[in-house]
Every structure is written in structure tokens, then in C-alpha cells.
Amino acid sequence: MEQGERLLAALPPEATEQQRQDLSFSIRCLADGSRWREADPALVGRYSRAAREALADGRVTPEELERVLQLAAEACPMARGDR
């Protein structure tokens, strides 16, 4: 299972549908941006580290989710939700 799929599966029950959609979009955006070398590797690295830390205990807290979404928006501007 890919990191993004694990993140989605580990979201807390209180995560909103909008947060789930934003995270799903962010994961695709970052994957595409990395593939086409449009995303800043340093920012993608920060996002990836935050995602790994959030998954360390198998459950993403609301605070960890917000951090991951924030870093995704920095790494991939299209992930900001104003698409």
C-alpha cells in the first residue's frame, strides 16, 4: 500500500469529507508534480516526512492531518483547495 493510501485509511473518524477529498487531491497532485518535476523536491520531502510521522502509530490525528494538508499546499499550490 502506498503512503497516500495509508494516510487516507488512517484518517480519524472526525475527518470531514472535505478533508478527505483535499488529502486525496493533494496526494495525486504531489505524485504528478514529482513525476513531471514541477514540485519542489525539498517541499515534497517535508510533506513526505510529515506523512511518515503521522503514520508512525497507524492513526492520523486531526493535528497531523492539518500539518500534512498544509505542507501539501506548500509543495503543490493546486492542493490549496482554491482549485
Residue 82 has a pLDDT of 45
pTM above 0.85, yes or no: no
pLDDT of residue 80: 53
Which pLDDT belongs to residue 4?
Answer: 86
Closest by Cα among 3, 1, 16 to 54: 3
Share of the chain above pLDDT 90, in %: 42
Please give the pLDDT value at position 56.
95
Low-confidence ranges of the chain (pLDDT < 70): 1, 33-39, 77-83
Rg (CA), the chain: 12
